[in-house]
Amino acid sequence: MTIEQCKILKLTKVHEVRGSLTFIEGSNHIPFDIKRVYYLYDVPDETKRGKHGHEKLQQFIIAMSGSFDVVLDDGQNKKTFTMNRPSYGLYVAPMMWREVINFSHGAVCLVLASENYDENDYFRNYDEFMKKVKENKV
Ligand code: TYD
């Protein structure tokens, strides 16, 4: 997996004088079957979330409200994605170390996930993540 596989995808925005609407049809718009949805909110100023990797999990991250930055690291390259529009989402491939930082006040970070919660899929330690990155290269 390389960071090049992680991309911002544009969702449809139905913009009317009555307001805007964006929809997601799992099989049409998301590159995996959605098994779980969770969201981060009430994040205090200066707080960083994430700081971990996943072996198999794929995610699609949307700033439903406010803004934040997602910093991805595939073990070789790092890229920062600023999320600030609810009609765009970030596809996160497996084996990416991530940090979610710079939450604006009141930001809501929605995450669509390819698997149910499984602590065994996490790398909580960067050195262990890097060890797996190197093993996968052999
Ligand atoms: P974690 O994934 O570490 O959050 P973040 O990366 O945003 O800092 O999860 C924080 C806590 O919430 C941890 O104790 C596990 C729990 N959790 C669940 O029980 N189910 C879930 O779907 C998620 C994402 C987390």
Give the per-residue pLDDT at 130: 98
Distance 50 CA to ligand 1 centre (A): 9
What's the rounded mean pLDDT across residues 55-82?
A: 98
| pLDDT higher than threshold 90 for residue 27 | no
Active site positions, annotated: 52
According to DSSP, residue 4 is labeled G
Angle at 112 between CA 31 and CA 28, to 5 degrees: 35
Going by alpha carbons, the residue nearest to atom 18 of ligand 1 is 117
Predicted model pTM = 0.97
* Tokens standing for residue 12: 């449809």
Reported confidence tier of residue 1, pLDDT bands at 50, 70, 90: confident
49 CB within 6 A, ligand 1: yes
Give the per-residue pLDDT at 133: 97
Give per-residue pLDDT as tens, 96-105.
999 999 999 9
Distance 67 CA to ligand 1 centre (A): 20
| pLDDT higher than threshold 90 for residue 61 | yes
Q: In Å, what is the CA distance from 138 to each residue of 43, 45, 57, 86, 118?
A: 39, 41, 21, 39, 26
Q: What is the C-alpha separation between 80 and 76, in angstroms, rounded?
A: 14
Chain centroid to CA 82: 11
Say which residue the tokens 């009609």 belong to: 87
Give the per-residue pLDDT at 87: 98
- pLDDT above 70 as % of the chain: 100
CB atoms inside a 10 Å sphere around CB 134: 10
